């Protein structure tokens, strides 16, 4: 039996601040791309760390 009701593939994404290079791991689609707490600018996607491969 499939317990697979989510439409979206859930992924961890590593984001980085382009200015101070601080990185953070977020979980999409539940989290939005964060803003750097020091620079107050939007962080950029650095790497997609795919979890559920199929």
Residue 17 binding Zn ion, by CB under 5 A = yes
Number of residues that bind Zn ion (CB under 5 A): 6
Looking at 4-12, 15-23, 26-34, 44-52, which segment touches Zn ion (CB under 5 A)? Answer: 15-23
Residue from 9, 19, 45, 50 binding Zn ion (CB under 5 A): 19
Distance CA 33, CA 42 (A): 7
Q: Which residues of 27-42 are buried (b: 16+ CB within 10 A; e: fewer)?
A: ebeeeeeeebeeeeee
Query: Which residues sit at the interface with Zn ion, rule CB under 5 A?
Result: 17, 19-20, 36, 38-39
């Amino acid at each position: 039996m499939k317990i697979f009701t989510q439409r979206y593939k859930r992924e961890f994404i590593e984001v980085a601040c382009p200015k101070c290079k601080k990185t953070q791991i977020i979980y999409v689609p539940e989290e939005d791309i964060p803003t750097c707490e020091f620079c107050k600018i939007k962080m950029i996607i650095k790497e997609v760390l795919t979890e559920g491969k199929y």
